[in-house]
A and B are shown apart, each in its own frame.
Chain A
Amino acid sequence: MPNAIVATNLTKTYDVKVRDPGIKGALAALVRPRYRQVRAVDSVSFAIERGDAVAFLGPNGAGKTTTLKMLTGLLFPSAGRAEVAEHDPWTGGNPFRRRIAFVLGNKQQLLWDLPAEESFRLNRAIYGVSLADYTTRRAELVELLVLGELIDKPVRQLSLGERMKCELAAALLHQPEVLFLDEPTLGLDLDAQQTIRTFLGEYRRRHGATILLTSHYMADVTALASRVLIINRGRLLHDGELSELVTRIAPIKRIELVLSEPVPRARLEEYGTVAHYAPPRATLEVPRETATAASTRLLTDLAVADLSIQDPPIEEVIRIAFGETEQDAGAEAEAPRADVRRAPP
């Protein structure tokens, strides 16, 4: 499969105004602004095959949105290259824009006072979609997203979840090949989140669309993407299967026990780290390789009613990943701060 998205050493450096606190600082910044260079995205490279769904994870300010903005052509990179849907995003112009969609969970394109249907029609004009295509696609989106009568109500009367569903429909009427979704489920209730996840999966299967999404919700990632990119402080930390991430960053298994007889905590410590102890339940963390052996010993030595071996929850893996790098990355990130330069006149 050819690649839908290729990023090569993508880098974005911002000049951020440095300001001392207080009125004196504000005045000084007004008269003679000083700038600090901040690397929002630092030499990020990856490739995504056509038809793949990839999740982009990282804490706030890690560089996810900046990367998406570069890939959609909204920002020029400070260095590096990218190719999206066979176009250079910064010179691709309208032919490029017709092949992508960018949905931002916290911004809306729908007209507030009118039914969503009117915004759909505007998009039909903007993207030059033929009436026949428009009718079929609209019907399909209405069905998959369960929009029903929602599209006839003024947008201001819709709930957040309903609005997001309409936003998605509006963004997909031109049938883009590559979808960039920035926090598409942000702030939605569980039901709406679920609908949107199911929809995105189904849409991708039907049309072979490529999806790159950022999210705070692990459920979005596990439901939609087999592959994750993890970024922190502008650096790509991991690119691979979700399961690989678990093995690499947290090479442990969790053994969950239900004991039929009381066993003191100290006795359990012999088998692994006790992460959780609430008799009759207990959770042990053991190295991945010894998980099976440990389980066998537990079953023979103790009165065990139930036992299961599990991967640690993704949230924890991510936390461990960032927790660890926070310290190494911290030292490096301090270095460029000395690089304070005067703004050119």
Chain B
Amino acid sequence: MKRIRRTMVVLLAFWKLNWLEELQYRGNFVASLLSTVFWLAMAMLTVALYFGHTTQLGGWGYWDVVVLLGVFNALTGVVETVLRPGIGHLPTDVRSGALDLVLVRPVDAQFYVSFRRLDVWRLADVVLGLGLSAYALAQTGRSVGVWQIVSFIVTFAVAIAVVYSIWVTLMSFAFWFVAVENMATLFDAVIDAARYPVSAYPGALRFVFVYLIPIAWTTTIPASALTGRLDPSLAMWAVVVGVAALGASRLLWRVALKRYTSAGG
């Protein structure tokens, strides 16, 4: 209990500092907002082009796919707000030796590295994304019940856990190979596949996205929850996947850190 309280105190201290830092660069906000609006418009146009030829994409209607697009954008917002500036910075820290200054402090290094920085303006992406989902949901004419909301919150949390785990996994390679900035680019390429429902992909790819690179769990499942097509048992499985992903990435982190301290940077 005391430990959780201490962790929260440190977390709040980080975020307060980030807020102070970011206030100096307000211009960023406008630029990132515009780029998100532009990106969303382009993405919707792409979807509209598809639907000019068909009425279904993997069993999803136009507005259902837009709901998913909103979820995708909200998740991207989380990545840009927390992950890229935090754990995404790990390779640089390893190379410059700045990680040493983290490791001598009485704080969990993974926690420190992951949450020390927030790009707060990119939270706008989360808001815009969720707003788009809500709008698209209204367009489908479906009623939204408590179950949909609750299962969405749970599965979206799982989505964040999965994406975070993927980042930790990719960035941990920095302890072996040092220069791994391209891993972030690899992530961008892979996560792009999550812009469409996983059912739209051929069987082999679907298998990969569900079991190997679990991005099916990042957008398809939360969007399914919102559009009322999520089976309760699948929601349970999502929680299992989220916890397993976090556990596995934590394990890898510890092995990587052990290597770092035994090999020396």
Residue positions of A touching B, CB distance < 8 A: 12, 14-15, 40, 66, 69, 72-76, 90, 93-95, 97-98, 100-102, 104, 107, 109, 111, 113-114, 118, 121-122, 124-128
B139 to chain A, nearest CB (A): 43
Are B104 and A74 within 8 A (Cβ)? yes
Interface size, B (range): 20 to 34
Q: Which residues of A contact B9 (CB under 8 A)?
A: 125, 128
| Nearest B residue to A154, CB-CB | B24
Find A75's partner among B20, B101, B264 (CB 8 Å cutoff).
B264
Report whether A122 and B264 are in contact in the complex, using a CB–CB cutoff of 8 Å: no
A74-B100 CB under 8 A given contacts A14-B263, A126-B105: yes
Q: CA of A125 to CA of B8 in the docked complex: distance in angstroms?
A: 10
- Whether B24 and A113, one on each chain, are in contact in the complex, defined by CB atoms closer than 8 angstroms, is yes
Shortest beta-carbon distance from A96 to chain B in Å: 8
Q: Which 8 A-B pairs have the closest CB atoms?
A: A94-B106, A125-B13, A97-B106, A76-B262, A102-B104, A98-B106, A109-B101, A125-B10
Would A104 and B13 count as touching, CB distance under 8 A?
no
B6 touches A114 (CB 8 A): no
Bound together, the chains give a CA A113 to CA B20 distance in angstroms of 9
Q: How far is the CB of A341 from chain B (nearest CB, A)?
A: 15
User: Which of chain B's residues have a CB closer than 8 A to the CB of A98?
Assistant: 106
The answer to whether A114 touches B100 (Cβ under 8 A) is: no
Q: Is B138 an interface residue (CB 8 A)?
A: no
Query: Is B193's beta carbon under 8 Å from chain A?
Result: no
CB distance from B78 to the nearest CB of A (A): 23
Within 8 Å by CB of A111, from B6, B21, B98, B261, lies: B21
Residues of A within 8 A of B60 (CB): none
* B210: interface (CB < 8 Å): no
Are the C-beta atoms of A73 and B21 separated by less than 8 Å? no
Contact residues in A for B179 (Cβ distance below 8 Å): none
Is A66 a contact partner of B264 (Cβ separation < 8 A)?
yes
- Can you name 16 A-B residue pairings with CB atoms under 8 Å? A66-B264, A69-B100, A74-B100, A75-B262, A75-B264, A90-B261, A97-B104, A97-B105, A102-B100, A107-B98, A114-B17, A114-B20, A114-B21, A121-B13, A125-B13, A127-B106
Residue pair A107, B97 in contact (C-beta under 8 Å): yes
Q: Given A75-B262, A97-B106, A107-B96, 16 more contacts at CB 8 Å?
A: A12-B264, A66-B264, A69-B100, A74-B100, A74-B103, A74-B104, A74-B261, A75-B261, A75-B264, A97-B105, A104-B97, A114-B21, A118-B17, A122-B17, A124-B13, A126-B105
**Nearest B residue to A12 by beta-carbon distance?**
B264
Q: Is the CB of B97 within 8 A of A73?
A: no
State the majority secondary structure of interface residues on A: mixed
Q: How far is the CB of B95 from chain A (nearest CB, A)?
A: 12
| Residues of chain B contacted by A122 (CB below 8 angstroms) | 10, 13-14, 17
Do most interface residues of chain B lie in helix, strand or loop, or is the interface mixed? helix
Q: How far is the CB of A65 from chain B (nearest CB, A)?
A: 10
Does residue B208 face the partner (Cβ distance < 8 Å to A)? no
Docked complex Cα distance between A95 and B17 (Å): 25
- Cβ < 8 Å to A, chain B residues 84-126: 96-98, 100-101, 103-107
Report the separation of the CA atoms of residues A319 and B192 in the bound assembly, to the nearest whole angstrom. Answer: 61
Q: Which chain A residues border B21 with CB–CB below 8 Å?
A: 111, 113-114
CA distance A90 to B106 in the complex (A): 13
State whether A126 touches B104 (Cβ < 8 A).
no
Closest chain B residue, CB of each to CB of A93: B106
Residues of B within 8 A of A69 (CB): 100, 264
Partner among B10, B24, B98 whose Cβ is within 8 Å of the Cβ of A126? B10
Contacts of B100 in A (CB 8 A): 69, 74, 102, 104, 107
Within 8 A of A (CB), among B1-53: 6, 9-10, 12-14, 17, 20-21, 24
* B12: chain A residues within 8 A (beta carbon): 125
Query: What's the Cα separation between A95 and B139 when bound, in Å?
Result: 57
CA A113 to CA B98, docked complex, whole Å: 17
Most buried by A among B20, B98, B100, B261: B100
Distance between Cα atoms of A75 and B261 in the complex (Å): 4
Per the bound structure, the CA–CA distance linking A338 and B263 in Å amounts to: 21
> Which chain B residues lie closer than 8 Å to A107 at the CB level?
96-98, 100-101
- Chain A residues contacting B96 (CB-CB under 8 Å) are 107
Contacts of B103 in A (CB 8 A): 73-74
Could you say which residues of chain A place their CB within 8 Å of the CB of B107? 94, 126
Q: Within the assembled complex, what's the spacing in Å between the Cα atoms of A234 and B105?
A: 27
What's the Cα separation between A102 and B100 when bound, in Å? 9
- Which A residues touch B10, using CB under 8 A? 122, 125-126
Contact of A72 with B104 in the complex, beta carbons under 8 Å: yes
CB < 8 Å neighbour of B20 from A73, A100, A118, A125: A118
Task: Point out which of B17, B104, B107 has the most chain A C-beta atoms below 10 A from its C-beta.
Answer: B104
Chain B contacts of A104 at CB under 8 A? 97, 100-101
